[in-house]
Amino acid sequence: MFNLFVLFFSGSLLLMLTSLPAMLCLVRPNSWYGVCASTALKSPGHWYKINMCAGWRMFKVGVGTMLTASALYFFPGLSISAYYFSCSVMMISLLLIGLYRTARHLQYYNR
């Protein structure tokens, strides 16, 4: 189970680290990194606001997954399959919520 803990912990840490440049507005508008929808590419102002919010959401996904992986690792009597299933469901659910909220945020700029 330790290998799965390392996998989820390092994966969430990697997600948090890759979201930092967008979150801190360090990336100029481009078609390689960040939310590259036409709405975001309309103006630099839109680009930075949209990607900052998306970066924050992905950072929160990483934190949530990291907390879940850490808390469940120390949960007594939890089987390896239950640990894997719980961490996977949490991470996928948080990612889908983050993507949905980012799509909703893009609709705000389409008006």
Per-residue pLDDT averaged across 79-88, rounded? 94
Per-residue pLDDT averaged across 80-87, rounded? 94
Contacts of 20 (CB under 8 A, 6+ apart): 26, 55, 59
- For 23-41, write each residue's pLDDT tens digit: 998 988 888 888 888 888 8
pTM metric for this prediction: 0.87
- For 53-75, write each residue's pLDDT tens digit: 999 999 999 999 999 999 999 99
Long-range Cβ contacts of 90-99 (<8 Å, 24+ apart): 90/64, 90/65, 91/8, 91/11, 91/12, 91/61, 91/64, 91/65, 94/60, 94/61, 94/64, 94/65, 95/61, 98/54, 98/57, 98/58, 98/60, 98/61
- For 92-105, write each residue's pLDDT tens digit: 999 999 999 998 98
